[in-house]
Structure 1
Amino acid sequence: MKKTTLAVASVTAILTLGSVVSPTLASDVGSVIQSIKGVDQGMKQAAEKGHVQEINNSETDQGITLFVKEVAIDPVRVAIIAKLVDQNGKRIHIDKEKDEFSITYKTKFGIDYIVGGGGFSFVEEGEFLVIKHDIFPFLIDKETQPDEMIASIKGTILGGKEGNWKVEFPVDMKKARAVTNYTEIGQKYTTHGIEIALQNMMTVPSTSLMQFDTYWTKEREEQIQKWKEQNSWIVESKQPEEFTEEYTVEEIVDRYFTDIGLAYQIMDEKGNVVVGWDDAVHEELNQIRKNNVEIWRKNKVHVDRKGETNWSGLTPLAKGESYKLKMHSLYLYEPSKFQATIPIGTLLKDKVTVTNSDSTYTLTGFTLKTTEGEEKIGNETYFGKGALISFSAILPEGIVNTTEWSAQDESKQKYDVSLKEKSTRGKDGRVHVTGTFFIRDLIKQPKELKLSHLLQQRQYQNLNWEVPFKS
């Protein structure tokens, strides 16, 4: 399932600008984005063209200083370069499990932007802390994009200490807005029960943002309804008070059916591939990704749940040039009928190979993890108690991913199953997988285990759709 990190709601209070600047850090001048490995080429390109603003503001609490050095921003993304130091100016490392950051925005008149969820991350890169945020979901309308915003970075736990750190600063977007351009395309293509509409491309200093809308056709809608009826996956309507954090199987399946993945390439006038985008979970299968810009908010499900709006971020395309987009693949989920019964006694002595529904799995070894805490087994780390079974597999032709695995022992007790896996494309064109099943909460050796998975993802290739456009 696609996951996003929840962004903290915007702050309503208006604070005075101009926090104290740390003397230890104030001398650290000049843009540093070019030297930071984790900043992508699109953001570095924006910095080269002058879309970086010096901030040099800080806030100190509990003997810890949060220092904001600079910010690069345009109508799609923001990258904030910061540092966390102690009283002696010594760097403090971030604990991503414990430390808590948020970033909020308001207009220069103090009106909060409704940021919504997703798109916020922070990571250490060399000596700096890089805070990234996708802001296009609340600035996508070019008519309401501001010339100036006030950004606030707030920390509530830093360096293992609870406190109150807030660095607030204005960001000027006039220069970035002046060079933002829109390419309206509006071309449609229907294949395998999906209508794909390439709507437009917005180019800002740090990225070109390609927007697609995908819709179920009547054929796809009828097929999904048939699958739901055959498997008793009908989602019952709920009242607001009935919703919980736990999803039913029917709701999970419904979300997968809504997920529509795309892969495409963009060529220049000479036929050179300048961009390769791929929504595949296992990017190594096609090896076409090229000049991507990471954005977190990649899709928005339509209200009727029969399609999505998809965005993909690319290294900025040159203005006034002619290009051609060629659709490479379409990814859709479908039910799986795979089931396999594994005799554990045999597995302890020898490998077990099972073939079902055109999938072949070879299993080797059975190990119980008896500790609740973190433990490294082989090359992977596992949490909680459970059983591990190593495997290799060949998936059915056209299938590139399997999901929603479960296991059941001879007493009909069911267990959730997670996978650590690596996928490659074999010479036969089929996907070959190696990895480990982790049967969570299985604490004693059963006589047998029945393994199955609800869904599989199919890749449709050789799509006959090319779209020429001029940026």
Structure 2
Amino acid sequence: MTCLYKGQLSSYLQGTLGDDQSVFMVDHIERCSYCQRQLSHYLGEIENPDNWEIVGPSTQRLVQQVINRVAPYPIHVMQRSKTNIQQKPNRWITRSITIMKKTAIAVAGIAAITYFGTLTSPTFATYVSSLVSSKPQQQQQVGSLFQKYADSEYLYRGVKQGYIQKVDLQAKDKGIIVDVKEIMTDTKDIRIILGITDTQGKQIENMFKFFPTNQDLARQVYEIKITDHEGNVYQGYDMEGYNDLHWLGDNGSLVMLNEPLTTYFTDTSEIPDKLNVQLTIKQIDKEKGNWTVNIPVDISKAKKETTIIPINKQYQSPRGTVYDLKQVMVTPGQTEIVLETTRSAGDTEELAFEIVDDKDAVLAAWSELILDQEDEDAQIPTMHNILHEQFLQTGNKKGIYFITFKNLPTDKDLTFKLSKTYTYEPVKAEMKINIEELKNKPMTSVQNGNSLTFSNFTVQELIDGSRGKELYASLDLDVTLAPNVMDLRGWAATDEQSNGYRLISFSGNRTRDENGTIKMSGKLHFKLARPPKELNIVYKSQVKERKNVDWKIAIPLKQ
């Protein structure tokens, strides 16, 4: 298969490709760094993502590459252990590209926001006080690139209040000019918008070709340093090679880079009032050079606008997992929950919580449980009003979640409510399917109280330029889950000769009926060496839901 073009990406995102074609496309994307950049860039061109649905089976490798771009987050409320700071990769696999057809756009938006940054938007509304000018704030925001290319509700407060700094600083080397146009910052991060002009004085387009998303390669192209007013360099705690960039403007003519201050300072009070941001571009296309711009930042006003509310309330589940709500941090446009979990030996319990107002209306929600398709209307675990989430493993069976919500009201008291918990139960379930008999009638099997109906096994031969001809298959699956069961996990398949198949994914819909029973309807996707005569399908665990968890914590935001 040759690399993808824009029309294919558009069809993929709009769900007009068949399931097998989507599987094939994702399989190509996960191995092709160019198409990964194309996909990320194309997502960045979508002016109104609320009108889109994203389709496609999950790919662990691609998702993990995107996940690694999420910034490591310092622990505000406990001693940092550098050797223990790491991502929790398995937790994120199905939360990014695994957005299936008819998935609520709220969930699709969350996935895209979480793993591709915010596409055309900085991750939150932030601000910076005037650095080199005493012009009124409203004059500073006129014609802002952040406003033009990154206009979203996440930036609404920052843009409205004029917290955007025009910089217009340049660095020239070998006839090429790097033009840093604007920055914005708060106590969490600094974002920079820049453009590049070639030796002919022409603005360079499609700059995603020159700024790799791979962490190791990115640091060969550009570097951001944070220094004090005397030039002393602050050492960050970024152990994952953080690389967050987005292409903006017509034809990708602008780049937005992000450097999280939270990887340098463990607490807002440690951030000095004045900083210097040193941006160095080391290579543009194949041309190596030195393009360095120093940007002074006065962050004193941003520090005053940051409020930390200590909570330190704990809940212990019947299985022994301890949840500790550490603190709430409020900055312009965002509210962050810091939640520590300490699990008992062998425990795989996960939680879901909501943020509600005084009338018990749900303003935000978050769940550890990841489903391939979530339906808010059906009361299936959902992510609502989420801007960003981060996990740090801080010890054996212990970790901290940093969950950032967008535009929660700060003029009223809210309540953190632990609504449900989920446990993974190992089970034995094996179903033997005769492919020839399946052509005449569906096959139904009841396993552990779950009723599974299989039908319509299809095989399609597709051509991948790098691998030649390959077979992809799908099997229709309709499931009625047993009471309190949320999901089936650990799918695997073999043929009549015990040859294992790569079971790529389950894609489909979930609904919850009036009795609370969840039904799944969709397809299992396989990658085959040869068409089977018989399929042996297994799943190894099921997810159980425990409702009516009684743990509520007041969040006193009202001043």
- Asked whether the two chains share a fold, i.e. TM above 0.5, the reply is yes
* Distance (Å, rounded) in 2 between the aligned partners of 1:391 and 1:85: 54
Q: Contact 2:491–2:503 (CA<8 Å) still a contact in 1?
A: yes
Q: Contact 2:235–2:264 (CA<8 Å) still a contact in 1?
A: no
Q: 1:405 maps to what in 2?
A: 491
1:354 and 1:325, CA in 2 relative to 1: closer, same or farther beyond 3 A?
Answer: same
Q: 1:117 maps to what in 2?
A: 240
Q: Is 2:54 the counterpart of 1:54?
A: no
Q: 1:326 maps to what in 2?
A: 417
Q: Is 2:156 the counterpart of 1:44?
A: yes
CA displacement at 1:180 relative to structure 2? 0.9
Q: Contact 2:281–2:292 (CA<8 Å) still a contact in 1?
A: no
* Distance (Å, rounded) in 1 between the aligned partners of 2:208 and 2:352: 35
Of the candidates 182, 190, 209, which is equivalent to residue 308 of structure 2? Answer: 182
* Distance (Å, rounded) in 2 between the aligned partners of 1:458 and 1:447: 34
Q: 1:88 maps to what in 2?
A: 202
Q: 1:104 maps to what in 2?
A: 224
* Other structure's SS at 1:284 match: coil
* Other structure's SS at 1:300 match: strand
Consecutive unaligned residues in structure 1, runs of 5 or more: 10-26, 226-256, 376-382
Deviations 1:132-170 (A, max 9, x none): 455435434234333344445566776x75655755434
Q: 1:301 maps to what in 2?
A: 393
Superposition map of 1:145-224 within 5 A:
145-151=271-277, 163=288, 168=293, 169-193=295-319, 194-217=321-344, 221=345, 224=346
Deviations 1:90-139 (A, max 9, x none): 63263599666455333221243232227643334554544445543543
1:302 and 1:430, CA in 2 relative to 1: closer, same or farther beyond 3 A?
Answer: farther
1:316 and 1:137, CA in 2 relative to 1: closer, same or farther beyond 3 A?
Answer: farther
Q: 1:5 maps to what in 2?
A: 68
Provide TM-score, normalisation by structure 2.
0.62
* Distance (Å, rounded) in 2 between the aligned partners of 1:374 and 1:352: 37
Stretch moving more, 94-103 or 142-151: 94-103
Stretch moving more, 195-204 or 420-429: 420-429
* Other structure's SS at 2:497 match: coil
Q: Contact 1:347–1:366 (CA<8 Å) still a contact in 2?
A: no
Deviations 1:240-263 (A, max 9, x none): xxxxxxxxxxxxxxxxx3x73433
Q: 1:12 maps to what in 2?
A: none
* Distance (Å, rounded) in 1 between the aligned partners of 2:334 and 2:264: 17
Q: Which has the higher strand share?
A: 1
* Distance (Å, rounded) in 1 between the aligned partners of 2:260 and 2:483: 37
Q: Which residue identity is paired with 1:293?
A: L
Q: Contact 1:152–1:166 (CA<8 Å) still a contact in 2?
A: no
Q: 2:509 maps to what in 1?
A: 423
Superposition map of 1:262-273 within 5 A:
262-267=352-357, 269-273=358-362
Q: Which residue identity is paired with 1:325?
A: F
Q: Which structure's relative contact order is higher, taking Cα pairs within 8 Å and 6+ residues apart?
A: 2
* Distance (Å, rounded) in 1 between the aligned partners of 2:249 and 2:452: 43
Q: Which has the higher helix share?
A: 2
CA displacement at 1:58 relative to structure 2? 4.8
CA displacement at 1:407 relative to structure 2? 1.5
Q: Contact 2:459–2:471 (CA<8 Å) still a contact in 1?
A: no
Q: Contact 1:341–1:451 (CA<8 Å) still a contact in 2?
A: yes
CA displacement at 1:367 relative to structure 2? 0.6
Q: 2:147 maps to what in 1?
A: 34
Of the candidates 350, 357, 370, which is equivalent to residue 260 of structure 1? Answer: 350
Q: Which residue identity is paired with 1:470?
A: P
Q: Is 2:554 the counterpart of 1:468?
A: yes
Of the candidates 440, 445, 459, which is equivalent to residue 545 of structure 2? Answer: 459
Q: Contact 1:76–1:139 (CA<8 Å) still a contact in 2?
A: no
Sequence identity, in percent?
18
CA displacement at 1:280 relative to structure 2? 4.2
CA displacement at 1:202 relative to structure 2? 1.1
Q: Which residue identity is paired with 1:433?
A: M
* Other structure's SS at 1:340 match: strand
* Distance (Å, rounded) in 2 between the aligned partners of 1:279 and 1:439: 27
* Other structure's SS at 2:301 match: helix
CA RMSD of aligned residues (A): 3.8
Q: Which residue identity is paired with 2:227?
A: T
Q: Which residue identity is paired with 1:429?
A: G
CA displacement at 1:277 relative to structure 2? 3.1
Q: Is 2:361 the counterpart of 1:275?
A: no
* Distance (Å, rounded) in 2 between the aligned partners of 1:190 and 1:311: 20
